Amino acid sequence: MTQSTDATGETADNTYDVVVIGAGPVGENVADRARAAGLSAAIVESELVGGECSYWACMPSKALLRPVVARADARRVPGLRHLVEGALDASAVLAHRDEYASHWKDDGQVGWLDSIGVDLFRGHGRLAGTRRVTVTAADGTVTELAARHAVAVCTGSRAVVPDLPGAADAKPWTSREATGADHVPGRLVVVGGGVVGVEMATVWQALGSRVTLLVRGGGLLPKMEPFAGELVADALREAGAEVRTDTSVKAVRRDGATVTVELDGGDLIEADEVLFATGRAPRTDDLGLDTVGLEPGAWLSVDDSCQVAGSDWLYAVGDVNHRALLTHQGKYQARIAGAAIAARARRVPILETDRWGAHSATADHDAVPQVVFTDPEAASAGLTLAAAEEAGHRVRAVDYDLASVAGSGLYADGYRGRARMVVDLDREVVLGVTFVGPGVGELIHSATVAIAGEVPVDRLWHAVPAYPTISEVWLRLLETYRG
């Protein structure tokens, strides 16, 4: 049957080339890539266009952290310190955060979708069999969509609150409340020493809360090199926070304005709020996965083109595929998946799915960068020493004290920081780099380029860092490596 199509390619019966479920940063980019390739695209969103990142994650958290880190940096600069000795203006910081969260309104992003010709369907999206999606709007109206080529699930993740006695009734904060709160709690207990835990402990301690950070393992930031967690823990303690490692929470109870956290050893900690920063779960539980033979509630496992295993039309991109829960990496996957969807729609006979090919999200395995925006910043790209060894590489790690670099001393009085470079001894290329110290976040892309480019260490020797910048740590690491 021939159907009428309009200029963007969708049909009167809501058939599109590509249907995207979830309009976070990743879904937006899949839709954008599809449109750029000349395909028609619809996107389904149940909350705000822009997703977690724009309203309850990256943007508000970084808007809260920036004044904290800028003040800390200024306090380390002679001649300036006395100007920034006082407390932060918490209400100004919260107002700055509100701006960066667009006051939790998505008009700007809706306008952008409109400008690129992507149709937005507001409501809860569910798969309804092969290439079919239903959208249930807030008023209960159900719209059916069909996809000619692909459905991309980009529904992201939500915070997990552990199933502890009393936790659900204690009205705990998750990352949403921690990034969106409109007041500074007097006392805050943070459970979890991962990225959300350390960033939010940094923010609220600086804004005036008395923070207690509870970590069940031996240190903070367990996915990074151990020195990252050690330096961040030292700084949090110096800022006045209490950091308790090897500590597990047994139960939580709220009585009015007070929440009591009971630890495994029996200790009780009273606070005004408790934040669970204990990881994420995929938003796939009410997604109709059973209609296509997949398990509801599971992370969606995909190949390097982000196609779901066993399907030739279903893609899962961003947090929901659990490859790297980071906005930039999800957007990278969206570019790769968008290119793969377009190539398959054009019936390109062979896709470039080999390593570093146009249709392979190779960097997810080897070259993921991350910046933890604490004071000091912790930035990494590629593999840690432990991860490289576990992956079977024959490696050597070299470390350097960042305080010994001329640019660091100029950047801050009493600079403290450390760098590590992990080198593959068989190929003589860099597998991983970690920098911890003030101002290192902007440095990490140099490492990402070296790793993704597989630049031989001998050639890096000719990449001369400008004097006197913190980047000179590259020279020091290479000198140390070459002995």
Ligand X SMILES: Cc1cc2nc3c(=O)[nH]c(=O)nc-3n(C[C@H](O)[C@H](O)[C@H](O)COP(=O)(O)OP(=O)(O)OC[C@H]3O[C@@H](n4cnc5c(N)ncnc54)[C@H](O)[C@@H]3O)c2cc1C
Ligand Y SMILES: NC(=O)c1ccc[n+]([C@@H]2O[C@H](COP(=O)([O-])OP(=O)(O)OC[C@H]3O[C@@H](n4cnc5c(N)ncnc54)[C@H](O)[C@@H]3O)[C@@H](O)[C@H]2O)c1
Pick what 174 binds: ligand Y, ligand X, none; C-beta below 5 to 8 Å, kind-dependent: none
Among 58, 206, 292, 367, binds ligand X (CB under 6 A): 58
Q: How many residues does the chain have?
A: 483
Is position 363 an interface residue for ligand X (rule: CB under 6 A)?
Answer: no
Contact residues for 189 (Cβ-Cβ < 8 A; gap 6+)? 211, 212, 214, 259, 261, 269, 271, 273, 274, 275
Shortest approach of ligand Y to residue 158 CB, angstroms? 10
Is position 119 an interface residue for ligand X (rule: CB under 6 A)?
Answer: no
Alpha carbon distances (Å) from 15 to 3, 18, 38, 118, 387:
9, 9, 15, 13, 45
Residue 319 vs 424, nearer CB to ligand X = 319
Cα separation, 200 vs 45, in Å, equals: 27
Cα separation, 53 vs 42, in Å, equals: 21
* DSSP, residue by residue, 288-325: -GGGGT--TTSPPPB-TT-BBTT-SSEEE-GGGG-S--
Are 221 and 228 spatial neighbours (Cβ–Cβ below 8 Å)?
yes
Is position 307 an interface residue for ligand X (rule: CB under 6 A)?
Answer: no
Provide the annotated binding site for FAD: 62, 125, 155-157, 319
Shortest approach of ligand Y to residue 209 CB, angstroms? 18
124 to 163: interface string for ligand X, x by CB under 6 A: xx----------------------------xxxx------
Pick what 192 binds: ligand Y, ligand X, none; C-beta below 5 to 8 Å, kind-dependent: ligand Y
Residue 184 vs 320, nearer CB to ligand X = 320
Among 185, 219, 282, 330, binds ligand X (CB under 6 A): 330
Residue 15 vs 175, nearer CB to ligand X = 175
Cα separation, 351 vs 206, in Å, equals: 50
Task: Return the residue matching tokens 């923070």.
Answer: 211
Residue 179 vs 408, nearer CB to ligand X = 179
Pick what 465 binds: ligand Y, ligand X, none; C-beta below 5 to 8 Å, kind-dependent: none
Q: Is 353 helix (H, G, I), strand (E, B) or coil?
A: coil
Number of residues that bind ligand X (CB under 6 A): 36
Is position 51 an interface residue for ligand X (rule: CB under 6 A)?
Answer: yes
Are 309 and 302 spatial neighbours (Cβ–Cβ below 8 Å)?
yes
Provide the annotated binding site: 62, 125, 155-157, 192-199, 279, 319
Pick what 278 binds: ligand X, ligand Y, none; C-beta below 5 to 8 Å, kind-dependent: ligand Y
E-assigned strands of 324-392? 369-372, 377-382
Among 20, 196, 447, 451, binds ligand X (CB under 6 A): 196
Is position 180 an interface residue for ligand X (rule: CB under 6 A)?
Answer: no
Pick what 156 binds: ligand Y, ligand X, none; C-beta below 5 to 8 Å, kind-dependent: ligand X
Provide the annotated binding site for NAD(+): 192-199, 279
Q: Interhelix angle for 25-36 vs 327-345, to 10°?
A: 30
Are 381 and 402 spatial neighbours (Cβ–Cβ below 8 Å)?
no
Is position 66 an interface residue for ligand X (rule: CB under 6 A)?
Answer: no
Cα separation, 217 vs 219, in Å, equals: 6
Contact residues for 327 (Cβ-Cβ < 8 A; gap 6+)? 25, 26, 53, 57, 58
The runs of H, that is alpha helices, within 142-282 are 175-180, 195-207, 226-238
Is position 328 an interface residue for ligand X (rule: CB under 6 A)?
Answer: yes
Q: Extract the tokens encoding 371.
A: 């910046």
Shortest approach of ligand Y to residue 11 CB, angstroms? 38
Residue 289 vs 460, nearer CB to ligand X = 289
Cα separation, 41 vs 292, in Å, equals: 21
Is position 44 an interface residue for ligand X (rule: CB under 6 A)?
Answer: yes
Q: Extract the tokens encoding 204.
A: 């609220």
Strands 369-372 and 377-382: antiparallel
Shortest approach of ligand Y to residue 319 CB, angstroms? 8
274 to 303: interface string for ligand X, x by CB under 6 A: ---------x---x----------------
Q: Is 447 helix (H, G, I), strand (E, B) or coil?
A: helix
Residues that bind ligand Y (CB under 6 A): 162, 191-197, 199, 216-217, 222, 248-249, 277-280, 325-326, 370-373
Residue of minimal Cβ distance to ligand Y? 194
Is position 374 an interface residue for ligand X (rule: CB under 6 A)?
Answer: no
Task: Summarize as ranges the residues that interact with ligand X (CB under 6 A).
Answer: 21-27, 44-47, 51-53, 57-58, 61-62, 124-125, 154-157, 175, 179, 196, 283, 287, 318-319, 325-328, 330
